[in-house]
Amino acid sequence: MSETNVIEVKGFEKTFYVGLRRKKFEATRGITFDVHQGEVFGFLGPNGAGKTTTIKALLGLIRPDHGELSVLGVPTTSLEWRAKVGYLPEHPNFYEYLSGLELVSWFARLSGHSAHEADQEAKRQLEHVGLAYAMNRRLRSYSKGMLQRAGLAQAMVGAPSLLILDEPMTGLDPIGRKDVRELILELRSEGRTVFYSTHILPDVELTCDRVAMVSKGVVVRCGRLEDIVRETSRGFEVVLENVGEVLFTEIATQHPKTKRAGLSVEIQLETEGAARALVSLATSKGAALSRFVAHKDDLESIFVRSLAASGDQR
């Protein structure tokens, strides 16, 4: 494992046999990606894409049929890394008769804290997620967003260096999602690594450094978010000022998608390289650059196209 990678997944395959007839279902088919230390990594995909199966394998809850998975430099079959990882499942089922303080304190006790230390740790983490005001209320009175924050509090017990969150935004209202986003960014600022699965793409654009898009059990696109957006751009627009007749003729001859209004010229180009070459040529001949814009799709459009290219038409 690389010194900068806290998660590595190579060729992960998992098949289940479901129902009375033991129908074969390939949940993952060679998933490969890595997560760097100190980043927020988004694991994106529709329901049934293999996200939760991968997370369960990372946690050592299921064994891969093929492939290698490691967390914090050791295989997922080992136990030594688990005290350093916090986990929030997609649908946490907490005992409703407990208070928020009792819940998080209980998890702290399970992590090896004494009773007094557990209470202090629980109070710290509940304050961290903005639930100090409700720590003595029963969980049955909590909203969905409050329960999600309580789940995050228990995941942060013991200050884990890596947090694995399965669909942490699901079911939250806009305020709840904003709170969770801010908490994720705060964790990154503290130097921790956050790996979370989701299908809520606007949140990804606001929080993630890198992403992996998964469809039908395979990764169809992976990389830095800004690189993915740039690579899938639909061309570039360049606007130049102070373009004389001779220069305009030269530009228009080379680039058919050229419009002119007085000394101002607008050119549409397909690649960033062509756009930058044009700017270099024009400015060397006295023109001034007024506008340089990449026509970029939002992440949702890129995601849908990536799924379609993989044969996923949902």
DSSP string, the chain: --TTEEEEEEEEEEEEEETTTTEEEEEEEEEEEEEETT-EEEEE--TTSSHHHHHHHHTTSS--SEEEEEETTEETT-STTGGGEEEE-SS----TTSBHHHHHHHHHHHTT--HHHHHHHHHHHHHHTT-GGGTTSBGGG--HHHHHHHHHHHHTTT--SEEEEESTTTT--HHHHHHHHHHHHHHHHTT-EEEEEES-HHHHHHH-SEEEEEETTEEEEEEEHHHHHHHT---EEEEEES--HHHHHHHHHH-SSEEEETTEEEEEESSHHHHHHHHHHHHHTT-EEEEEEE----HHHHHHHHHHHTT---
What is residue 46's predicted lDDT score, i.e. its pLDDT?
A: 87
Q: How much is the pLDDT for 1? A: 43
pLDDT given at position 11: 96
pLDDT tens across 61-110, in order?
Answer: 999 999 999 999 999 988 888 889 999 998 888 999 999 999 999 999 99
By the 8 A CB rule, do 151 and 107 touch? no
Domain covering 5-230 in this structure, CATH number: 3.40.50.300
Cβ pair 156, 128 in contact under 8 A: yes
Predicted pLDDT at 92: 85
Q: Rounded CA gap, 204 and 228, in Å?
A: 13
> How far apart, in whole angstroms, are the C-alpha atoms of residue 67 and residue 8?
11
pLDDT at 310: 64
pLDDT tens-digit profile, the chain (314 residues): 445 799 999 999 999 998 888 899 899 999 999 999 999 999 998 888 899 999 999 999 999 999 999 999 999 988 888 889 999 998 888 999 999 999 999 999 998 899 999 999 999 999 988 899 999 999 999 988 889 889 999 999 988 999 999 999 887 888 888 888 998 999 999 999 999 999 888 899 899 999 999 998 999 999 998 888 777 667 888 999 999 999 999 999 999 889 988 889 999 888 888 999 999 999 999 999 998 887 777 777 777 777 776 665 55
